[in-house]
Structure 1
């Protein structure tokens, strides 16, 4: 098997396969999570994870980074501004304990069910047909998935110019984190769209980016709906090939004329 560089796939005989390697995300010398991920857009992954997990509040608080290729994986190292670093170390001390639930570097049930800030804005309005249009646009913009048929994608879709940014990864959370890094944490003026079911952790990440709308190719879990309702996020899932289900805050969708 020959690796094709950091393009996200490998060739195994006649078969193109999605590449998947352990990626350690470290901040100020402390590993926060080790994720199985596609080995491209790692800089965006490091930044996006820090933003969606509340390690930093702004991209400027990740002051520098280093990506190190190891024999069997990648270490992504980031260094934080002093105030963010102090908060991160305090968070790590609070997380220390004998039990972990194993969710993306989260060490407690309380942290897995963290309460994210409610979305303060309510300015986005989308046509009723926009959610299905956004999902179709994302499906048409997945070159890695077209090659390997084993990856997820996330994108930011705007009514005026369609998809403005996308990211792909073997992991659905990773794809959204890579997108967050590419957007520098700014999801304003558009809807986040993902190729997966809608779970509470995706809702939390979307809310941390200040997104008003999250659209998924699958259905939502009950907990995701509860959290989206609480944090003022419009949550929309695919109900059928031609129809989407609006779970929460339908006021952002315009009625058809």
Structure 2
């Protein structure tokens, strides 16, 4: 018979700052080579390999060999676990202007696995509701956290459905709603944004929106922090015209 879950063993994996940096570098859903993760976490190749071995054994990451390199990505619910821990964790002291800029960038706009989070992600979701692309079914017309929401990144249940203006609004964004609807994963999922404590769009539709924003050049990835993304002038103009953001 198995005993209770060994939460302490899992928690110990997050007690090493360098190991956490490895996980955060994978937080946008991409697969990265060990050498890239070592550079991102400020580790030697041997140090990165040691951390990755522990994360593999715990099932928090998966590895896939391609040619001479092995690439790693977050496994299963690890992205949601990271967001949950971030919600419970105090802000790290900012010791330099660069660190402060990166922290602000993550709060402003970042990827949460494969969709947009932060202030921008929350603003997009709220605008989709106000423009009728999404509709709430619980009597609360906002994207605020509901009393029953878990303090976690992805909601088990959500109060949203596609609204009557969904085809027109998503078409104006360049998002193929029919293609997103045919994906194997759920079309509509929502996360409780850890920095904003409001809902942002996830699921197949959230991924399609993020992919479109990046492909159109409305968002671009920042080079100093993989999860942080930047709203470009063209993106600001487009989202202002289409969604009133």
The answer, yes or no, to whether TM exceeds 0.5 is: no
Bigger share in strand: 1
Give TM-score scaled by structure 1 length. 0.25
Give TM-score scaled by structure 2 length. 0.26
Bigger share in helix: 2
